Amino acid sequence: MKKVLLATTALVAFAGAASADVNLSGSARFGLQWRDNAPVGKPSTRLEKRVTLNIDMSTETDSGLELGARLRLRNNEGKGEALTGRDNVGVTMGNDTVVYLKSGGLKLSVGNVCGALECMPGLYAGTVGLNGNGFHNVVTNSAGAAGYWGWTAYTSDVGGIDRVEIEYSAGDFSGMLTNSNMNDATATSNVISAYAAYTFGDWTVALGVQDGDAPAGFGDKTVLTVGGKLGDFGVGLAYADNNGDDKFTLNGSYSFGATTVSAFVSDDGAAAATDNPYGIGVSYDLGGASLVAGYASNALGDKNASAGIKFKF
């Protein structure tokens, strides 16, 4: 990922700053997506497009203390139309920012933070397609009352976010604690989440928990993920208790040359589930970009597919 130095002089003027910079990075994708259950009046096949630009600002004090912030600009196809289920912003706009302080392996962030469950290792393992094809592989997405996206996460939209997060890493261990809705003017109850992870060789095990308010859409969750490699094969297993509804996902991948084939199958224990979610995807590395395609089915038997090209800059 290339870093572009935009400005240093103004930031160095910050009291005690020894060095400072502003970096640009991002990603883009475009292609087609299809779904078999399109709403009346909506096409089954349509364009898929997204452009994301991250603006990362940081400075370092003479004592080695790092301070920074991130602002994101994102543009998608029409809001609510994408199959990703999150951050479907239809216009280019800046999101809520996150500001952080870091010293060694300890990092304190305030605002639009990562989110402990969102950023725990292995949660998104098995994702297929250009846009995730609904992310039915993610064990914290359930067909039950807990629903989809019921946990604290970094958002590319604007929503008046007040969160505090502590992250720590040392050697093969990492952990994160997130407390959401810290502003006492909000009507939503606090949501606390945490994870701890340990890596040994090519394998990582992570355990995450969330203590939330189910009526507000952020219920109690317990998540366990295990993932690693066996030569050219990748293997992962994930489990979540979503406020009483269990979900399991087994995922795997195989790489040969520039091509990677991946797949997942899930068991959603929610009473509303009628099918086992599954998906298969393929990616071809072009060197600086990737051709990707995927097909998936959710716990209700609804199917979708996506294909196109994606790249980072």
Domain ranges, residue 81: 9-99+124-156+213-312
Is residue 230 situated within a structural domain?
A: yes
**Assigned token pair, 200:** 């040994």
- At residue 227, the pLDDT reads 98
Q: Which of 206, 217, 215, 263 is nearest to 240 (CA)?
A: 206
pLDDT for position 265: 98
pLDDT band at 86 (very low <50, low <70, confident <90, very high): low
% of the chain exceeding 70 in pLDDT: 84
pLDDT of residue 218: 84
Task: Quote the pLDDT of residue 60.
Answer: 94
Question: What is the Cα–Cα distance from 280 to 77, expressed in whole angstroms?
Answer: 24
More confident residue, 150 or 108: 108
The SS3 of residue 172 is coil
DSSP string, 9-29: HHHHTSTTEEEEEEEEEEEEE
Residue with the larger pLDDT of the pair 84 and 95 = 95
Instruction: Name which of 35-39, 98-102, 110-114, 119-123 the model is least confident about.
Output: 35-39
Mean pLDDT in residue range 232-259 = 97
Q: What is the pLDDT of residue 257?
A: 95
pLDDT of residue 215: 64
| Structure token pair of residue 84 | 């990703």
Distances (CA, A) of 113 to 85, 198, 255: 19, 22, 33
Residue 122, C-beta contacts closer than 8 angstroms, at least 6 positions apart:
204, 206, 225, 226, 227, 236, 238
pTM over 0.85: yes
Res 217: pLDDT:
73
Domain assignment present for 149: yes
d(CA 188, CA 1): 38
Contact at 8 Å (CB) between 291 and 312? no
What is the band of 94 on the pLDDT scale with cuts at 50, 70, 90?
confident
pLDDT of residue 158: 77
Tokens 């002089």 found at:
9
What is the predicted pLDDT for the residue at 87?
54
Model pLDDT for residues 10-63, shown as the tens digit of each residue:
333 444 445 679 999 999 999 999 999 888 888 999 999 999 999 999 999 999
Predicted local confidence at residue 230, as pLDDT: 94
Is the predicted pLDDT of residue 1 greater than 80, yes or no?
A: no
Q: Which pLDDT score is estimated for 187?
A: 52
pLDDT digits (tens, 9 = 90+) for 151-186: 989 988 876 678 999 999 999 999 999 998 755 555
CATH code, 151: 2.40.160.10
Answer whether residue 178 is part of any domain. Answer: no
**Number of domains into which the chain is organized:** 1
Mean pLDDT of the chain: 88
- Residues in the chain, how many? 313
d(CA 155, CA 159): 8
Q: For residue 260, is it within any domain?
A: yes
Q: In this predicted model, what pLDDT tens digit does every residue of 262-280 receive, in sequence order?
A: 999 999 999 999 999 999 9
